Structure 1
């Protein structure tokens, strides 16, 4: 109810008829889907703290940089901000709702190769965005070496906590010091890409949301979430479609860096918990790091380096090489692999037993903004990243004026209104998560959605329309006049 009341303040004339929760990171945001009297859908996202508020402000800046021409050229739709409401230092955002639904990774894999190929083409389109888009929004820009050095600095900070298993520290440091691994062409990247930020409709990506971490950096970051895919063929299809769409020389190491990013996200999760003194997050991070350390000790982990690191024993100590190993001084000390005098010729070595017991699928890797889960058991195709792609030379930049500092989103698509007037009819069939039991029965649905519908002249469902909002703090209304109830953008 509170988010519905905020939405009426952010978008004049909006009269909520139904309210339902939608998936989001509960540590950072309160979110809801609102259907108004005209059956238009709106997404409300309210930050819980300063850090998440800054992420939404960054997303607004990024979305303003997408000109109408850029939006029209993309094979997917982008969010558009319809209005905002400030409550103290935090600001709640109301977005025009986009088509499609979130599918988990297993559902995407089960959807088949056509969906995987479409995801590859979508990622290619993101990486083909002009770099001036990032420059115009004053968002982060990294060269390949700057990006690698930044990761090394983060690793040093994580090591100082004393909570990272030594084996993982050595493994990550070895990969970050493998200079050949970091020869890539920086591109515009989404930065927070995973299955929950892809809206799927009819087996294709209809929209991409969550543009809070846009930057120029390593394209591999947008593939990190694929480390959790249980079917290597799914990842292979994504990469093949990406390569074909980019039409450039392959980056043979993109999936190695992606696997490293998925593992390192666990350390970043722990560091964030320590910074905020979040005991639950700290405990989760430590447990996931222990699980990852055990998986790598047992199964070797996914390849993240070009030059393989030294082998370690179960205590994390280097295993001597053949040249360093002491020579056998007695014939009884020399035995054939797999042979035991007590068992005969059919016994297995310890390493063979580990391989036989290895699970067929990797553990689910982390998502950037939700509690990650330990990644990294091998899928059985360690060279799959050799088919990965790389980007060529960066796109040439053009001069662009900075947008005005206002809450009005410039560059709205001139065809948005006509396109979205028909969205109500198209959206009559409610998605699976919109059931009557999900909605607040106290929410009025008998209004006509106009400002004249209320006796006091205020829009029905506004902050003054019910006792639920009496306890709300004083707010400053900021609306984006150019966006109407059906102002979805492509």
Structure 2
């Protein structure tokens, strides 16, 4: 049974000394049922949010997020042109923890609703570039993963082989993905700080400007293309605006190799969904992933552009991949990532 806002307010009061709550309300937009959460108004005019995970997946994600937020010190945050959630306190409850954060205002926007041009798309590109421009040293000092380009390649290969070992991966996809990781020309890159789990839902927006970025559980040093594959699901003008802003801010080229890796990561989301279903022993998820893989094969064979490597056939268009990933087994209205901790580079090596 879900905890009431009043119960959550009491937990928040025990987590944060001197927290004076003047009002409470539920926060149903948080985590698609993975958290009990509430917004609390305080007597000093501020708003905080309290969250209690209701599944092991959410517990793991929240714990990882907390480690990352602590690593994002005041000095690091000052380098970012947007806000990051502020941890305020925690209290034990029922084998997990209630976590209290400062509430960040703003609206979520669906990736397909990002307008063309340099406005919001440009702001998103600048925001991601700012993350990738952070000094890498703080990540290792916090005990978070620091992956070289070779390790990113190795873990991607391990993910592909894990999916292949299920016996459920179509041969056509297995071979194309293997060809992509065998093409070492696209794996020559400089690792950067990455969020590691960015989607459109990660951003809070006001007046076509990114004001906050949420969800830091996969913070690490790794392949910057991991943070950019979802941008390619935008309409072409918006994608160009975001990538152009990103490239100009970082003064780097989002070249063909960069885009090819981003496309590969998008396709591999289906493999991650399959492995997640096997891990949690949910045949419904497995069946859904198999259906998505079959659809991916059909669409790839009907597409004649954007090869993953010089050795592969055509890749599925990114918007088609993302459209399939928007579906979930059972209740199609709930978001798949909310029930699935993002699989990251180091996770895939042990999947």
TM-score (norm 1): 0.61
Question: How is 1:329-344 mapped onto 2 (pairs within 5 angstroms)?
Answer: none
Report what 1:109 is aligned to: 115
C-alpha displacement of 1:270: 1.3
C-alpha displacement of 1:154: 1.3
Report what 2:246 is aligned to: 242
Q: Secondary structure at the match of 2:50?
A: strand
Question: How is 1:260-409 mapped onto 2 (pairs within 5 angstroms)?
Answer: 260-300=264-304, 302-305=306-309, 307-309=310-312, 362=320, 364-365=322-323, 366=325, 370-371=335-336
Q: Within the alignment, does 1:133 sit opposite 2:123 as a pair?
A: no
C-alpha displacement of 1:79: 0.7
CA distance in structure 2 between the partners assigned to 1:107 and 1:241 by the alignment:
18
Report what 1:398 is aligned to: none
Deviations 1:437-458 (A, max 9, x none): xxxxxxxxxxxxxxxxxxxxxx
Count of matched residue pairs: 323
C-alpha displacement of 1:50: 3.2
Deviations 1:369-428 (A, max 9, x none): 9427xxxxxxxxxxxxxxxxxxxxxxxxxxxxxxxxxxxxxxxxxxxxxxxxxxxxxxxx
**Which of 234, 240, 253 is residue 257 of structure 2 equivalent to?**
253
Note if contact 1:3-1:32 (Cα within 8 Å) is conserved in structure 2.
yes
Q: Within the alignment, does 1:182 sit opposite 2:187 as a pair?
A: yes
Q: Secondary structure at the match of 1:109?
A: coil
Question: How is 1:188-227 mapped onto 2 (pairs within 5 angstroms)?
Answer: 188-227=193-232
**Which of 101, 111, 124 is residue 129 of structure 2 equivalent to?**
124
Unaligned runs of 5+ in 1: 313-357, 373-490
Q: Secondary structure at the match of 2:135?
A: coil
Q: Within the alignment, does 1:32 sit opposite 2:44 as a pair?
A: no
Q: Secondary structure at the match of 1:113?
A: coil
CA distance in structure 2 between the partners assigned to 1:189 and 1:359 by the alignment:
24
Deviates more, 1:112-121 or 1:250-259: 250-259
**Which of 146, 149, 153 is residue 154 of structure 2 equivalent to?**
149
CA distance in structure 2 between the partners assigned to 1:9 and 1:107 by the alignment:
40
CA distance in structure 2 between the partners assigned to 1:192 and 1:287 by the alignment:
24
Report what 1:461 is aligned to: none
Specify whether residues 171 and 129 from structure 1 end up closer, same or farther in structure 2 by C-alpha distance, changes over 3 A only: same
C-alpha displacement of 1:93: 1.2
Report what 1:317 is aligned to: none
Specify whether residues 49 and 302 from structure 1 end up closer, same or farther in structure 2 by C-alpha distance, changes over 3 A only: farther
CA distance in structure 1 between the partners assigned to 2:164 and 2:317 by the alignment:
30
CA distance in structure 2 between the partners assigned to 1:256 and 1:31 by the alignment:
39
Note if contact 2:266-2:322 (Cα within 8 Å) is conserved in structure 1.
no
**Which of 41, 44, 58 is residue 52 of structure 1 equivalent to?**
58
Report what 2:79 is aligned to: 73
Q: Secondary structure at the match of 1:216?
A: strand
Note if contact 2:109-2:201 (Cα within 8 Å) is conserved in structure 1.
yes
Unaligned runs of 5+ in 2: 327-333, 338-351
Note if contact 2:303-2:314 (Cα within 8 Å) is conserved in structure 1.
no
CA distance in structure 2 between the partners assigned to 1:30 and 1:287 by the alignment:
32
Q: Secondary structure at the match of 1:76?
A: coil
C-alpha displacement of 1:240: 0.9
Specify whether residues 161 and 142 from structure 1 end up closer, same or farther in structure 2 by C-alpha distance, changes over 3 A only: same
Report what 1:322 is aligned to: none
Q: Within the alignment, does 1:167 sit opposite 2:176 as a pair?
A: no
Note if contact 1:19-1:34 (Cα within 8 Å) is conserved in structure 2.
yes
Report what 2:12 is aligned to: 7
Report what 1:487 is aligned to: none
CA distance in structure 1 between the partners assigned to 2:300 and 2:87 by the alignment:
44
Note if contact 1:266-1:288 (Cα within 8 Å) is conserved in structure 2.
yes
C-alpha displacement of 1:176: 1.0
The RMSD of aligned alpha carbons is: 2.6
C-alpha displacement of 1:163: 1.4
Which of structures 1 and 2 has the larger relative contact order (alpha carbons within 8 angstroms, sep 6+)? 1
CA distance in structure 1 between the partners assigned to 2:318 and 2:161 by the alignment:
33
CA distance in structure 2 between the partners assigned to 1:137 and 1:87 by the alignment:
26
TM-score (norm 2): 0.84
Query: Whose helix proportion is higher, 1 or 2?
Result: 2
